[in-house]
Structure 1
Amino acid sequence: MSSLDTAKYDSSDLRGAYAWTDTLKGVHYGPGSVKTALPKLLSTLGAKKAFVVTGRSLHDKTDIVKKVESILKDHNAYGATFYEIGQHSPIAGIRDALKRFKDVGADVIVSVGGGSPVDASKAILYFQQQETGGPYLRQIAIPTTLSAAEYTSGAGYTNDEGYKVVVSSPELAPAGIILDAELTLATPERLWLSTGMRAVDHAVENLYRPLVPPPIKYLCYAALADLFKYLPESKANPQAIDVRQKLQIASWMSLWPLKLEKYSALGLSHALGHKLGARYSIPHGITSCLTLAPVVALKAETASKEDKEWLAGALFHLRKPSTGSLEGDILKLSADIHKLVDDLGLHSTLTEYKVPREDLPQIAQLAVGAQDDPLLPKVVALLESLYA
């Protein structure tokens, strides 16, 4: 190919494909990519009939689900659509969806939306496999937020008692992911930006998450740099599709698909978010806006030297000067996260969500995991600070 032939190609890295040859068969990205990527992934998986899983707002208030259905119908691969998946993936919706999935004889799920449809789809496939004892069926995820649930093998859902529970298996990770920024234009601003803070939470907590290899940590640094840059730009210019595409790629980098030898939880901010979110109906993204900055500040006091070094290293990638000490740099990172939340108009309090103060010790204990953990009083104090 001559240099003249390559001139028509954009060097912005906003289009392309990446494949992980085990569970994940392909990530396709780029504005308008759903039209070609969805048929390709169906063919790769040998799928014949798709079951679309989404939420009511996306189904009723936008044409996004209809676009996906139309592509499936054009390839004679449409089965049915289920749009009763609520926030935090309640088990009742998952049960109803599983029954419908089996009734239509679908062999693949196409999830459309944020983390709740993606996680609900994993749970549906988990329970289907438990019933049949056969191989896991697969999911193609088409995210419209930045929550990054599509890159993990775990599924969080809310049980009948109102608590968040998790099922996990390598086979539950979506087999295909389509990042089409055009499909995010209808995402409400608060949801889009707050799930962007969820991606910031992923990137930061991966810096001290056990078993994460160093190259992935450097991807997280790159994710942080892009998220800090492009989230404010997206707020200022919501129709900028190129900025939205860059944010989708940054979300991908924040939680790069990993095949870990054993399960490794992200960190305290996520643990607190899981306990607060389902029980008190706080959206995932908003829990990150609440908990991440104070958790990072706590790390300046409690983290190991190696974890402090990784956290402090974020300032270099954010093009911020060092304070001269690891602890000072971590506190600066915490302050920068707090400022980003404020600049995006996402400041929240536990008062707004009517979280009773008397519940704080239990929330802290569930997040930390042990009554006698010396960290427990500090976590209770952290939660107390979130009422201001």
Structure 2
Amino acid sequence: MSAESNLHGSYAYTDTLKGVFYGPGSVKTALPKLLDMLGAKKALIVTGKSLFNKTDVVKTVESILRERDAYGATFHDIGEHAPVAGIRAGLQKFKDAGADVIVSVGGGSPVDASKAILYFLHQERGGAYVPQIAIPTTLSAAEYTVGAGYTNEEGQKVGVNAPELAPSGIILDAELTLATPERLWLSTGIRALDHAVENLYRPLLPPPIKHLCYAALADLFKYLPASKADPLDLEARQKLQIASWMSLWPLKLPKYSALGLSHLLGHKLGATYGIPHGITSCLTLASVVALKAETASKEDKEWLAGALFYLRKPSTGSLEGDIKQLSVEIQQLVDGLGLHSTLSQYKVPQNDVQTVADRAVGKEDPLFPKVVGLLESIYA
């Protein structure tokens, strides 16, 4: 039996994370509590332009910090996919503010950019890593990982990785998500679904975490349509934030373990063609799951097929049939949320399909022709 079988493994929580606080309105009490836990005196807020300019969310966080005399500055020049120029500018802002903690507010880009800023700072100064408190307003779940992706000068997605880069505190306050644009909110929910599904066949992941992913799947399928139907439903939004947490539960693996093909394709498509993180999952996830019905190991097929039970859907009578049905259910959810997308819609040249497949798996991989076919199937 393989040493990476589900019957062998280990589990540990991340060393860095001090606490996840959740509930509508929780930022008012949780942020001061986390500052005390970390002994932090001066914060740099890292956020995006839209959240800063078009909502009161950042002002709410600023006012809490000002009451504690812990406000240093706000940096909002973070673009989608975290371009490296913004990271360098954020690092300088951190130094100028005399900050000793970053409070990231927004989606995956501010969270990942904050990790990258702290990584670059550590490269310069050494010593202990400076902590981050993450206040997410989307469902992308970047706050639960130890790695960060950013876009280099050539437009390629690159990454940094260290256990200490995981945020030290996370605040899930559904009230702060009310200003998030619907398409961003719902599409990052599909990103969370992507995490939950790909964790079912992710190497080294222990079975208890996979069962959390089943729970995440069930809640995402239930509460994403509910949130679309009533955008002011705070209970649905809070349930979705918790489902996002369950989809990418913080853990320490014995060695690096990538999620899967849907994420791999998403990384190649997102940075190169400017496709938002959530939309890349809308593009690729259902098709990747259908491909898994052909290519996955028996053990991985069993985990994928098991998802139908949690979605309260009857079995088709075979593992492969159940996985194909899961693919259909995912695509129907995406379409029902108004998120159906194509590569041509995002101006990906059709001639680039083989290049994307090559960057994702390599031409020598036996899977290469199937990945090309997958990309061609979602082109138009």
Partner of 2:215: 222
Q: Does 1:387 align with 2:375?
A: no
How many angstroms does 1:208 deviate by? 0.2
CA contact (8 A) 2:143 2:167 kept: yes
Aligned: 1:26 with 2:19: yes
Match of 1:38 among 10, 31, 34: 31
* Greater RCO, CA 8 A, separation 6+: 2
Given the alignment, which residue of 318, 326, 331 partners 1:325? Answer: 318
The letter of the residue matching 1:127 is: F
Q: 1:339 to 1:21 in 2, by over 3 A?
A: closer
Deviations 1:112-169 (A, max 9, x none): 0000000000000000000112211010000000000000000000010001111000
Q: How far apart, CA to CA, are the structure 2 residues paired with 1:320 and 1:367? A: 32
1:131 matched residue in structure 2: 124
2:153 pairs with 1:156: no
| Displacement of 1:21 | 7.1
Q: Which residue of structure 2 aligns with residue 64 of structure 1?
A: 57
SS at match of 1:84: strand
1:295 aligns with 2:253: no
Identity %: 79
SS of 1:381's equivalent in the other structure is: helix
Write the distance in 1 (CA, Å) between the matches of 2:44 and 2:345.
37
AA in 2 matched with 1:379: V
Q: Is the 8 A contact 2:14 2:251 kept in 1?
A: no
Secondary structure of the 1:259 match is coil
Match of 1:213 in 2: 206
State the Cα distance separating 1:20 from its structure 2 match.
Answer: 5.3
Does residue 343 in structure 1 map to residue 336 in structure 2? yes
3-state SS in 1 of match to 2:62: helix
TM-score between both structures, scaled by the size of structure 2: 0.96
AA aligned to 2:121 is: Q
* Paired residues of 2:344 and 2:350 also in contact (CA < 8 A): no
| Matches of 2:363 and 2:242, distance apart in 1 | 40
Match of 1:314, as an amino acid? A
Quote the RMSD (CA, aligned, Å). 1.0
Aligned residue in 2 for 1:241: 234
1:62-99 deviation line (CA, Å, top 9, x unaligned): 00000000000100111000001000001010010001
1:324 is displaced (CA, Å) by 0.2
Which residue does 1:8 correspond to in 2?
none
Aligned to 2:95: 102
Partner of residue 353, structure 1? 346
Contact 1:20 1:26 in 2 (8 A): no
Which amino acid is the alignment partner of residue 178 of structure 2?
Answer: L
Deviations 1:34-87 (A, max 9, x none): 000000000000101000000000000000000000000100111000001000
2:352 and 2:341 mapped to 1: Cα distance?
Answer: 18
Secondary structure of the residue aligned to 2:378 is helix
| Contact residue 15 and residue 163 of structure 2 kept, 8 A | no
Task: Measure the CA separation in 2 of the matches of 1:263 and 1:333.
Answer: 27
Partner of 2:69: 76
- Matched residue type, 1:178: I
Aligned residues: 369
CA contact (8 A) 1:51 1:110 kept: yes
Stretches of structure 2 lacking an aligned partner (at least 5 in a row) = 1-11
1:382 partner amino acid: L
Write the letter of the residue equivalent to 1:182: E
Q: Normalising to structure 1: TM-score of the pair?
A: 0.94
- The answer to whether the 8 A contact 1:109-1:139 is kept is yes
Structure 1 unaligned residues grouped into runs of 5+: 1-18
Q: By how many angstroms is 1:371 displaced?
A: 2.5
One of 231, 249, 258 as aligned partner of 1:256: 249
Q: Distance in 2 between matches of 1:254 and 1:21?
A: 16
Asked if residue 374 in structure 1 is aligned to residue 366 in structure 2, the reply is yes
